[in-house]
Amino acid sequence: MARLKIAVLISGRGSNLQALIDACADPKFPAEIALVLANLPGASGLDRARAAGLATVAVDHRGFPDRESFEARMTEALEAAKVELVCLAGFMRLLTAGFVERWRDRLINIHPSLLPAYPGLDTHARALADGVRFAGCTVHFVRAEMDHGPIVVQAAVPVRPDDDAASLAARVLAEEHRCYPLALRLIAEGKVRIEDGRCRIEGAAAPGAVLINPQPR
């Protein structure tokens, strides 16, 4: 079976990119990385891509007069690589509605919160300030509104009484690295349908366990 050709878009260290590289290294995995694109030539995630022998391109947004021309160059690179699904992984540029529509239902993102709670930046500090008992991450299809769109996969992690933003981020990040390959696999296997703004996942069951935090002594 042909593997789904994906691009991973990054701006930084690329630990989620690494999780996708590792998943795609299995020849039985239904997707392959056709291109890693960074908007910053110095993004250290590019080194991970090169180490894995992947095609890379840096499209430096600072070299373009506006978002449209920057995105047109990105789309050119994505099309040249015959990309079928674009995966944002720590890509720190806002995308125009035009780009999002161009890749509609073929553009996904990972976000470090249980969306629709905490869109935007500093999710962990904001969650701690609110005293929530669970945090998590979300893989979702991208819509024009930032950090919104049909949810594919989420993971919830407990917040501990002694957490700071860094410890909570690390706990969530470990789950991001499991959720992104899972979401990609489900999409590449054709198991995800978008209906009325929500994802229906064929053959998927919810876990049986309920989590309560704090735990009674």
- The residue within the footprint of ligand GRF, chosen from 7, 46, 86, 110 (CB under 6 A), is 110
User: What character string, x for contact with ligand GRF (CB under 6 A) and - otherwise, covers 121-160?
Assistant: ----------------x-----------------------
Residues in 24-43 that interact with ligand GRF by CB under 6 A: none
Three-class DSSP labels, the chain: CCCEEEEEEECCCCHHHHHHHHHHCCCCCCEEEEEEEECCCCCCHHHHHHHCCCCEEECCHHHCCCHHHHHHHHHHHHHHCCCCEEEECCCCCCCCHHHHHHCCCCEEEEECCCCCCCCCCCHHHHHHHHCCCEEEEEEEECCCCCCCCCEEEEEEEECCCCCCHHHHHHHHHHHHHHHHHHHHHHHHCCCEEEECCEEEECCCCCCCCCCCCCCCC
Residues in 164-203 that interact with ligand GRF by CB under 6 A: 173, 176
Catalytic choice (111, 124, 140, 177) = 111
Spatial separation of the C-alpha atoms in residues 164 and 124, rounded to whole Å: 8
- The residue within the footprint of ligand GRF, chosen from 7, 54, 90, 135 (CB under 6 A), is 90
Q: Which stretch binds ligand GRF (CB under 6 A): 13-21, 125-133, 148-156, 199-207?
A: 13-21
Q: Please say which residue, 87 or 187, places its beta carbon nearer to ligand GRF.
A: 87
Q: Which stretch binds ligand GRF (CB under 6 A): 1-9, 10-18, 159-167, 204-212?
A: 10-18
Q: Does 112 bind ligand GRF (CB under 6 A)?
A: yes
Name the closest residue to ligand GRF (Cβ): 90
Q: Does 56 bind ligand GRF (CB under 6 A)?
A: no
First to last CA, the chain: 52
Q: Does 16 bind ligand GRF (CB under 6 A)?
A: yes
Binding residues for ligand GRF, total number by CB under 6 A = 16
Q: Does 89 bind ligand GRF (CB under 6 A)?
A: yes
Sequence-separated (6 or more) residues with CB below 8 Å from residue 115: 138, 140, 147, 148, 151, 154
111 belongs to the catalytic site? yes
Q: Which stretch binds ligand GRF (CB under 6 A): 14-22, 34-42, 61-69, 114-122?
A: 14-22
Active site residues: 111
